[in-house]
Amino acid sequence: MRTIIKQVVGIDVAQKELVVCLGRMYNDWRPELYAYKSFVNTSKGFDALTKWVGQLVDNTVPVLYAMEATGVYHESLAYYLHEAKQEISIILPNKISNYARTLTVKTITDKTASEAIALFGLERHLEQWTKPKDIYKQLQQLTREREQLIAERTVLKNQLHAELAQAIPYKKSVDRIQKRIDLLDKQEKEIQQEIEVLIKTDKEVQQNVLLLCSIPGVGILTAATVLAETNGFELIRNKRQLTSYAGLDVREKQSGTSVRGKARISKKGNRYLRKAMYMPSLAAIRYNNGFKAIFARIVARHGIKKKAGVAIQRKLLELMYTLYKKQETFNKHYILPKEECMEEAEILGGEH
């Protein structure tokens, strides 16, 4: 007799819509997708979703809600399901996209995406998502707000430069742009102060920030961003997963001897983590012998500084994770093992 041993609700999350697929696994290890429906991405939609699921599943077998980490659009649903004491798993986007390529699906739609998520959940053992500590959520909101302010200020500075470059600048326009820049400068300082005060409210977070800041070039804002975007590394189990989560993992297309594409970072990950690594990587190249050696080796071999810089960003992020896991401060005499340096140079600086 066939019995159900696993049930998964695969959810493709968009800004305004949730496309849902119900799947179940029987004791003969054959998955079955048997129901589909769309819901609005609001609290009313969440109520309708859980009610619909409750009517169709076997309530004697646990149900896992699986979804992609899609920016911020999945967060409200995840918090709602957590409060409802449901089992939740949030999956890195690149895992789903890689898995979907193994399926016999030629057309990618919201429905097929939800099917892929449901099948992935049925076939794999997924770790349950836990609600982030409030301080990490607040740090995430503050660091992202600061990032948006900086982007807006850059646009205004470019506008100011264009105005001043004219033969006869219009003074009132220049004054208004300058006032907006001054306001953003003030707000950025306020956010930085709020971040520093917030960190001091939690001894554990404060200690972890100090550990990460022991690395040359890593400041409070970088440390706060990394901890906030990874929920204090709660989402991370190893260095490979971390680089994948940040979108710093390498993708390369190769087939036989005739097809060999360029190795590129996937960028299918958390862009805030990638941005946070840029400036610290420049400092690491300048002040750390191990990172300097990797950078020089890749540049000498291929003359591409940007590619070498990405390798440093990746290694720096991995180092931050290592220090956090070991609860150790940075050793200024630390030099990366030669085999690691060579491996990184081969991956990111290989022949094309």
Cβ distance 239 to 248 under 8 Å?
A: no
Contacts of 290 (CB under 8 A, 6+ apart): 334, 335, 336, 341
Residue type, position 187, single letter: Q
320: Cα within 13 Å, side-chain hemisphere? 35
**Which distant-in-sequence residues (6+ apart) come within 8 Å of 193 by Cβ?**
none
User: Which residues contact residue 65 at a Cβ distance below 8 angstroms, ignoring those fewer than 6 apart?
Assistant: 8, 9, 11, 81, 86, 87, 88, 89
- Residue range 314-349, pLDDT digits in tens: 989 999 999 999 999 988 765 555 545 544 544 444
Other C-beta atoms closer than 10 Å to the C-beta of 69 total: 21
Give me the phi and psi of 158, to 5 degrees please. Answer: -65, -40
332 burial level (CB within 10 Å; 0-12, 13-18, 19+): exposed
- CB contact set of 245 (below 8 Å; sequence gap of 6+): 92, 230, 235, 236, 269, 270, 273
- Residue count (the chain): 352
CATH topology of domain 4-123: Nucleotidyltransferase; domain 5 (3.30.420)
> Please, which residues have CB within 8 angstroms of residue 207's CB and are 6 or more apart in sequence?
none
Per-residue pLDDT at 267:
59
How far is 237 from 244, CA to CA, in rounded Å? 11
Start-end of CATH 3.30.420.40 domains in the chain? 4-123
**Phi, psi at 37, each rounded to 5°:** -170, 155
For 231-254, the pLDDT digits (tens) are 898 868 888 888 888 888 665 444
Q: Which element (helix H / strand E) includes 297?
A: helix 289-302
The answer to whether 119 and 23 are in contact (CB under 8 A) is yes
Whole-number pLDDT of residue 127? 86
**With a cut of 50, which residues of the chain have pLDDT below it?**
252-261, 339, 342-343, 345-352
What's the CA gap between 11 and 63, in Å, rounded?
A: 13
Are 110 and 14 in contact by the 8 Å Cβ rule? The answer is yes
For position 18, what pLDDT does the model report? 95
Which residue type sits at 49? L
**Could you tell me the sign of the dihedral formed by the alpha carbons of 84, 88, 93, 99, in that order?**
negative
Tally Cβ neighbours within 10 Å of residue 250: 17
Q: What's the pLDDT score for residue 325? A: 93
Beta-carbon contacts of 36 under 8 Å, excluding residues fewer than 6 positions away, are 19, 20, 21, 22, 111, 114
CB atoms within 10 A of CB 186: 10
Q: How far apart are CA 246 and CA 265, in angstroms?
A: 10
Strand 63-68 relative to strand 4-13, pairing: parallel
Contacts of 138 (CB under 8 A, 6+ apart): 198
> Which pLDDT value is given to residue 261?
47
SS3 state of residue 206: helix
What's the pLDDT at 117?
94
